[in-house]
Structure 1
Amino acid sequence: MSGSGNSNVGSRQVYEAGDQRNAKFSELGSDRFHEGVANSHHNNDPKDDRSLVNRAAAERQSSGPEESLETSLHKKDPTLPAKMHGNEPSRGAKVDAELQAEDEAMLKKKDQKK
């Protein structure tokens, strides 16, 4: 005996045809696609399903925060931020300044040879 015709909620004849069909796409309307909120997804979300390539592309497209004064000074001279605050620059900052000066001197030599 097959149980396909017997169910606990009634027989097949009880249901009308419209009860078992999905609504047409045209009846749903287009409001469904405008439900999302702007900036609701975070680029750095680790649970996001985007690939690393897509994350990298999004990172390149997004404009990062503006550079602070200390960051721009640090690029010119690594000892300047500490001096601005009245402190002695760290040993690492002094070494960075020496390396930067050597690199600039080498680049000047190469430019003069051309």
Structure 2
Amino acid sequence: MSGPAGHVKSQYDTKPVSENKAHNPLDKKDARSHPQTAEAAHLEQTLQDKADEEMKNRNPTELAKEHGNKPSRGAEIDEELKKQDELRLQEKSGN
């Protein structure tokens, strides 16, 4: 890859990663130092943990309803069980 006036563009561009994540931020052959790569890995894990926690807190039927579909019977049962568990916890903490 060559640019204007025969200037060879680096294979590993140092510009910030765009929102679409054009390359793998955990690439071992990247031009970043080890601490920068470790920080990127930590950030990636933190974001994944946050997404997992949000999925745990969602109602099981919510996703189907968002898409305009009827929730499955299993999701309905899961939601009922979750509500029962919350009621039991409230009763135990109140006593």
TM-score, scaled relative to structure 1:
0.39
TM-score, scaled relative to structure 2:
0.46
- Whichever of the two has the greater Rg, that structure is 1
Structure number with higher relative contact order (C-alpha < 8 Å, ≥ 6 residues apart):
2
